[in-house]
Structure 1
Amino acid sequence: MTNRHLMPLAYVDVIARAGSIRKAADRLSITSTALNRRVLALEEELGVPIFERLPRGVRLNTAGELLIAHIRAQMSDFEKLKSQLSDLAGERRGHVAIACSQALLPYFLPECISAYRRAHPAVTFGVAVRDRQAAEQALVDLSSDIALVFEPVRMREIQVLIAVRQQIHAVMAADHPLAERATVRLRDCAAFPVGLPAQQYGVRHLLDMALVRSSVELSVALEADTFEFLRHYPAHEHLVSFQIPVGLPMSGDRDDIVSRPVDTRDIPEGTLYLCQLRGRTLPVAAAKFAADIERGLEELYA
């Protein structure tokens, strides 16, 4: 994805991410000696060192941090230029980098990406699973073009493209006693073992806040950092886990698993944000795909 005149700078980016010249050389399929020579040549050209040499690797110094911000901005701008030039040629090309919560992976995002690629098969995608804080950071360091974040941690550097409300759902086996109800209360869930997402996730944040405000005590049988596990486990035990609608099958309940909304008097709705870095002009392919995502979220949840 990088042209030849940016290649020496791209090497610095790979080294910074790997934390080691040897590891970076392996990823770039060149020798560590050759890669080190290129770094030394660049440092000589700049007149300052950019890496601090450590016993077990390297890390960027202050000059290196300034350089890496410039490098990533240049690489991002080049991707935008390629996409714009492809538009002029009448051919849709480009690459879209997405950082997102796990909930987007099983249903919503695959449908959106496949629909886009049917219309623009030359566009490639990179999908990185990130918790809410890491997803925002991916926008800041330009490793992602757009992010889909549930209950963000900070918003100062982020431009929101669309925000949709998401009611927390309880997930359970189809034969679970609570499955007969249209809506469940948090106190109903307290009568059964529950599975909770790890603390870095927005769903857990809303649950913890709700428990602080109430007298309900949940019997936590398991905790996991994967929603895929929490979505499927209730088929094996009368346990209740929690999810947001975008992470549930769009066609409704499965034969063995169902979901029921939790009363908003107990757990208020959260917000799913589609966002980009504030002030950044996205590459054409990323901007067009973001517009498709925005329309899809509006149709489902507006």
Structure 2
Amino acid sequence: MDITQIRTLIQVAETGSLSKAADRLCIAQPALSRHVRMLEEELGTRLFERHGRGMVLTEQGQIALRHAQRIVAEIDEMRISVADESESLRGHIAIGLTPTVSDILAVPLFDTIREACPYATVRIVNSYSLYLMDWALQGKIDVLVLYDPLGIRSLRAEPLVEEDLYAVAPPEAGLQPDMPLNVRDLRDAPLALPGRDHSLRILVENAAKACRSTLNVVVEADSLSIVRDLVREGRCWTILPLAAVQDDLAAGRVSVAPLASPVIKRKLELCFPSDRPVSQLADFAGRSIASISRKLVREGRWPGRIVT
């Protein structure tokens, strides 16, 4: 048994598919299948049930997965503990931020890392949660901030901030920040939202179903800048956290109202891939994200609530 086989177990359990796990780990599917088979032979039990739709953990596989996750975590901790302090904050760090978070965090985060780690190079990847999560599991991102990662086994998540969602409309709609708007009142509003597989869209769709209403989505746009442009130009409404439109609201380019009946909240979480080592540089970046986020909330510069 080796660490490659253990990481294979975690990825196949996560994706439910040898082909998807092979893509994430960037190795050939036959080699991945061999790792699983060798691990099963060494443990003397079947870890997965194979069927036409993929692979599902057996009861013994669930037990093995819990041990595998602990082993990987222990190896990460050991590597961080013995790392050469003079080298630990050098190298390259790739940080994934969702668009609304990037607007708030990117500059202060870069400044913090640059000051403390002058020999490190920083890459900031700005995209929606779904894409960031997949890139992280492929090894392309070291630390990331996601909305509602939904208990993904290959990610270790720590809560940061909870935000309320707002209806955002052109100024002439006359929405008011102190006058909540019921979700069912959005039925006829022409909405610009991300695609159906994105966390914000899922939250909004579920809220509409909960109050037995529907949404009038006239355009799907997986770009925050496009959505904001459509609203500013009077073409559409959208639904976003207040932080995403603070500047537009102050400049009178949009109007907003908090959503009610039901209130829609989403939680922002700091995430690390749990199936590979976390470097001291990535750990420092993560701690910086947490510290800056909470500072901005306390100062009122990030509308939201600190989650502990």
TM range (shorter): 0.5 to 0.7
Aligned partners of 2:157 and 2:270 also within 8 Å: yes
Instruction: Go from structure 1 to structure 2 and tell me whether the alpha carbon gap of 1:181 and 1:173 turns closer, same or farther (over 3 Å shift).
Output: farther
2:27 maps to 1:62: no
Q: Which of residues 110, 125, 133 is equivalent to 2:122?
A: 125
Shift in Å, 1:156 = 1.9
- Quote the residue 1:223 is aligned against: 220
Q: Which of residues 128, 132, 136 is equivalent to 2:133?
A: 136
2:262 maps to 1:262: no
Aligned partners of 1:95 and 1:286 also within 8 Å: no
Letter in 1 for 2:98: S
Q: Which of residues 78, 100, 115 is equivalent to 2:112?
A: 115
Distance 2:143 2:27 in 1: 27
Instruction: Please list, as runs of the form range in 1=range in 2, the aligned pairs for 1:1-302 lying within 5 A after superposition.
Output: 60-63=28-31, 84-85=83-84, 87-88=85-86, 92-179=89-176, 181-237=178-234, 239-249=236-246, 253-263=250-260, 265-278=261-274, 280-299=276-295, 300=297, 301-302=305-306
Shift in Å, 1:248 = 3.8
- Quote the residue 1:46 is aligned against: none
Find the residue that maps to 1:216 and give its secondary structure: coil
Letter in 2 for 1:276: F
- Quote the residue 2:39 is aligned against: none
Distance 1:193 1:251 in 2: 19
Find the residue that maps to 2:103 and give its secondary structure: coil
Letter in 1 for 2:228: R
Instruction: Go from structure 1 to structure 2 and tell me whether the alpha carbon gap of 1:259 and 1:189 turns closer, same or farther (over 3 Å shift).
Output: same
Aligned partners of 1:131 and 1:200 also within 8 Å: no
Deviations 1:231-277 (A, max 9, x none): 222111163101124534479633312433212x3243121111112
Percent identity, aligned pairs only, is: 17
Deviations 1:195-248 (A, max 9, x none): 122112111000111111223333322221112211222111163101124534
Distance 2:121 2:33 in 1: 29
Distance 1:223 1:187 in 2: 20
Letter in 2 for 1:285: L
Deviations 1:149-189 (A, max 9, x none): 11224422221123421211222223322247543222333
Aligned partners of 1:139 and 1:145 also within 8 Å: yes
Cα-Cα RMSD: 3.3
Letter in 2 for 1:104: V
Deviations 1:67-99 (A, max 9, x none): 9xxxxx9xxx9xx88x954x326x942221123
Distance 2:192 2:277 in 1: 41
Find the residue that maps to 2:181 and give its secondary structure: coil
Distance 1:63 1:192 in 2: 52
Instruction: Go from structure 1 to structure 2 and tell me whether the alpha carbon gap of 1:114 and 1:232 turns closer, same or farther (over 3 Å shift).
Output: farther
Aligned length: 231
Letter in 2 for 1:269: K
Distance 2:157 2:177 in 1: 38
Shift in Å, 1:115 = 3.5
Instruction: Go from structure 1 to structure 2 and tell me whether the alpha carbon gap of 1:66 and 1:165 turns closer, same or farther (over 3 Å shift).
Output: farther
- Which consecutive aligned stretches of 4+ in structure 1 deviate over 6 angstroms post-superposition? 64-67
Instruction: Go from structure 1 to structure 2 and tell me whether the alpha carbon gap of 1:180 and 1:133 turns closer, same or farther (over 3 Å shift).
Output: closer
Aligned partners of 2:105 and 2:289 also within 8 Å: no
Letter in 2 for 1:247: A
Distance 1:278 1:120 in 2: 24
In structure 2, list runs of 5 or more residues that go unmatched: 1-25, 36-71, 298-304
